Chains A and B, each alone.
Chain A
């Protein structure tokens, strides 16, 4: 499949009073047409910053794209002017944000908020735009759309608002949809509905989705491929199956070990000790080493490069080096992996609509 987006060595920094915070430190990945790429990681791992940089939504100052390319449609988005970028945002690249309670303008009718993009990008008349808006609201499953277009955000529930946010993002049939933790702020029951909606929409529109989350359960549900981020870098990337059945990076092991599932009755969750590093002074060597039970001496000296596991699977850990001692994932994580294999938790999509 063709690449619709290619990111090379993206570096994003924020200039603060304390100094330069290196939020993203050289991220490279690509996105294929029609696929869903999940980016997972703890808070502060740089996953949100990465995707905001893709849509050039980093507030500047203090933020800036220090280096790297974002190739989309033959253009390097990192180098476009604000004006050129305005023409792409909302039309080709849309974003769905985390908190539906705050991401809608409280003093503007929801219809107007959806129509805004249509009028700007598709040059629609007001009445056309309104018609399309009602269609969109229907598409995202909002009841009584023709009456509700003229209501204000506070008149909707959280789940309904997230549907409206999705409608805004979908308005112009974007090629890339960035979903920045779209379900985190919602109730669990609503979460499932929104995920279903997104999968459904992807089937209908064939857009590519970048899905940011810290919830591996969600990843298993939606993703074709998964990128694991830690301390501003991608530490492991591969297809969902590879990440869940054959993870290579100790951090991925940690994430899987700390993920609650219904079948882990016999064991307790395994926590990753410690806390993420301070990005004001990223540590020397492998940033994960201080928290890593399998750390090698070399981790303290040098950053590991990306080692190839398969054509689609890469991981940045010295454990994959030929000199490295053979290390098995911890027993608990292994049992988890077996569990996934038997229940098919990571077999994205069709079969598991429970």
Chain B
């Protein structure tokens, strides 16, 4: 033992520091600070959040960047492929303003004629050919890939970033306005679900007993009705449009939230801090709004974050089967549906709204996942 190193003068009773024995070494963080720190560490969630912010900004401001309106038709400029400044030379991106298609015929000449018939009735000057197979005269032995430049043919100076649709409307404008509408429908629907669900679940869980019993029986019946069925039935009696979709989505949509809030409130209301508040004479409203709801807020946020993409999906789904918005209104769903009709030759009409919609859905889902991990009190160490 290293007795030499031990200084004798240190063997005196230490000054007792009351503070120190009770000291907590970790910095004390509020629930939200703690959640934010955990969310920030989650790469996926941050990606989702950034994506959503960008897409929302685009949905708000992008339509202002163009001179086109939602429904400005120009049949002369229909089905223009997408063309973006600076990306003309990257053919594989498909943003070079050209259409390409492969034609097969008995000979190269015939195949070129087919291309001409498809793209431009006038002359060959705006079509470039890439002969894949010379052909020997037998059926469909020759293969030619044709690149047609409608911008040059129609002498269009303007760049349609996302191209135009079958009626010559600028898709860039339509996609972002459609995004705006889809987001708006989803946000309003989620907000209504939240308000109704929290009120219903909160009351049911807090008062318990007979009130709870009756309210739960009602919910049990409502939950039994498939969402799809309710939405379709509601859409049929209402005039198609944004309001109809929102009503259809929310009419039974709130039940999920109500059940979650009720479960939380039931769990919380028997905990000591609530009993303490009751003992101190707080009113029901005060306990509900000051103690129970704030402690369920995490669950409410998480659930809402999952409701939003669900609402976006249902809106698109309804538009897709013909029960959604009616022309000329655009939502991501109607745009994708329109795109399907021209998918084989003009895939860009479907692909752009499909990409935007996919990004929104992914963004909300991973952000919601991240929030669930961040807000879950069980995760707190």
Q: Do chains A and B touch in the complex (CB under 8 A)?
A: yes
| Chain A CB within 8 A of B327 CB | no
Q: Are B26 and A296 in touch, CB under 8 angstroms? A: no
A324 within 8 A of partner (CB): yes
Q: How far is the CA of A107 from the CA of B142 in the complex (A)?
A: 66
Chain B contacts for A318, CB-based, 8 A: 11
Q: Which of B15-23, B151-159, B332-340 contacts A (4 or more CB under 8 A)?
A: B15-23
B6-A298 in contact (CB<8A)? yes
Q: Is A300 an interface residue (CB 8 A)?
A: yes
A290 touches B20 (CB 8 A): yes
| Contact status of A294 and B6, CB under 8 A, knowing A274-B21, A274-B22 | no
Which of B9, B13, B17, B22 meets A275, CB within 8 Å?
B22
Q: Which of A294, A298, A299 contacts B7 (CB 8 A)?
A: A298
Nearest chain-B residue to A307 (Cβ)? B1
Q: Are B17 and A324 in contact (CB under 8 A)?
A: no
Chain A stretch 12-28: residues in CB contact (< 8 A) with chain B: 16-18
Asked if B217 lies at the interface with its beta carbon under 8 angstroms from chain A, I say no
Our pick among A16, A293, A323, A325 for the contact of B6 (Cβ within 8 Å) is A323
Within 8 Å CB of B25, what residues of A? 277-278, 280-281
Bound-complex Cα distance A273 to B9 (A): 27
Distance in angstroms from B313 CB to nearest chain A CB is 34
A296, B21: Cβ atoms closer than 8 Å: no
Contact (Cβ within 8 A) A323 B11: yes
Shortest distance in angstroms between A286's beta carbon and chain B's nearest beta carbon?
A: 10
Are the C-beta atoms of A296 and B41 separated by less than 8 Å?
Answer: no
How many Å from the CB of A32 to the closest CB on chain B? Answer: 26
Q: A295 vs B11: C-alpha distance in the bound complex, in angstroms?
A: 9
Interface string of B1-39 (1 = CB under 8 A from A): 100001111111110110011111110000000000000
Select A302's contact among B6, B23, B381, beta carbons within 8 Å. B6
A297 lies within 8 A of chain B by Cβ: yes
> Using Cβ atoms and an 8 Å threshold, which residues of chain B touch A280?
25-26
**Minimal beta-carbon separation of B149 from chain A (angstroms):** 55
Q: Is the CB of B22 within 8 A of A323?
A: no
Whether B381 lies near A16 (C-beta < 8 A) is yes
Nearest-CB residue, chain A, relative to B2: A305
Which residues in window 219-267 of B have CB below 8 A to A? Answer: none
Is A121 close to B, CB under 8 A?
no
**Which of B16, B20, B26, B41 contacts A278, CB < 8 Å?**
B26
Q: Is the CB of A298 within 8 A of B11?
A: yes
Of the candidates A290, A321, A325, the one whose C-beta lies within 8 Å of that of B13 is A325
Residue in contact with A293 in the complex, picked from B9, B16, B23, B381, CB distance below 8 Å:
B16
CB distance from A144 to the nearest CB of B (A): 38
A295 vs B23: C-alpha distance in the bound complex, in angstroms?
A: 17
Whole-angstrom distance from the CB of B112 to the nearest CB of chain A? Answer: 64
| Residue of B12, B16, B21, B23 with highest tally of chain A CB at under 10 A | B21
The yes or no answer to A289 lying at the interface (CB within 8 A) is yes
Instruction: Report the interface size for chain A: residues with CB under 8 A from the other chain.
Output: 29
Which residue on A lies nearest to B18, using beta carbons? A273
Expressed in whole angstroms, the Cα–Cα distance for A305 and B3 within the complex equals 11
Residues of B within 8 A of A302 (CB): 6
Complex CA distance for A290 and B17, rounded to whole angstroms: 7
Asked whether, in the complex, the Cβ of B381 is within 8 Å of the Cβ of A18, the reply is yes
A33 CB–B CB distance under 8 Å: no
Interface presence of A200 (CB below 8 A): no
Closest B residue by C-beta to A319: B11
Contact yes or no, B12 A296, CB < 8 A: yes
Is there contact, CB below 8 Å, between A295 and B22?
A: no
Asked if A305 and B41 sit within 8 Å, CB to CB, the answer is: no
Closest to A21 in B: B381
Selected contact of B10 from candidates A18, A274, A290, A296, CB within 8 Å: A296
- Does A73 make an interface contact (CB < 8 A)? no
Please measure, in the bound complex, the distance between the C-alpha atom of A159 and the C-alpha atom of B381, giving whole angstroms.
31
Task: Evaluate contact between B14 and A297: CB separation under 8 angstroms.
Answer: yes
| Residues A290 and B21 in contact in the complex (CB < 8 Å), given A18-B381, A305-B1 | yes
**Cα distance A324–B6 when bound, in Å?**
11
A301 at the B interface (CB under 8 A): yes
Q: Is the CB of B6 within 8 A of A290?
A: no
Q: Is the CB of B16 within 8 A of A295?
A: yes
Distance in angstroms between the alpha carbons of A296 and B13 in the assembled complex: 4
Taking the nearest CB of chain B, how far is it from the CB of A13, in angstroms? 15
A297 to B17, CA, bound (A): 12
Chain B residues, Cβ within 8 Å of A323: 6, 8, 11
Q: Give chain A nearest CB distance to B57 CB in angstroms.
A: 32
Assess whether A334 is interfacial by the CB under 8 Å rule: no
B11 near A324 (CB under 8 angstroms)? yes
CB distance from A164 to the nearest CB of B (A): 29
- Give Cα distance in the complex from A315 to B248, angstroms: 73
A302 to chain B, nearest CB (A): 7
The distance from the CB of B226 to the nearest CB of chain A, in whole angstroms, is 31
Docked Cα-Cα span, A190 to B41, in Å, equals 46
Residue A64 lies at the interface, judged by CB distance under 8 Å to chain B? no
Additional 8 contacts, C-beta under 8 A, given A297-B13, A302-B6, A321-B6: A278-B25, A289-B14, A290-B21, A295-B13, A296-B11, A318-B11, A323-B11, A325-B11
Q: What 5 A-B pairs are tightest by C-beta distance, nearest first?
A: A274-B21, A298-B10, A295-B14, A278-B25, A323-B11
Report 9 cross-chain contacts, Cβ distance below 8 Å, ordered by A residue. Answer: A17-B41, A273-B22, A278-B25, A280-B26, A289-B14, A297-B9, A302-B6, A305-B1, A321-B11
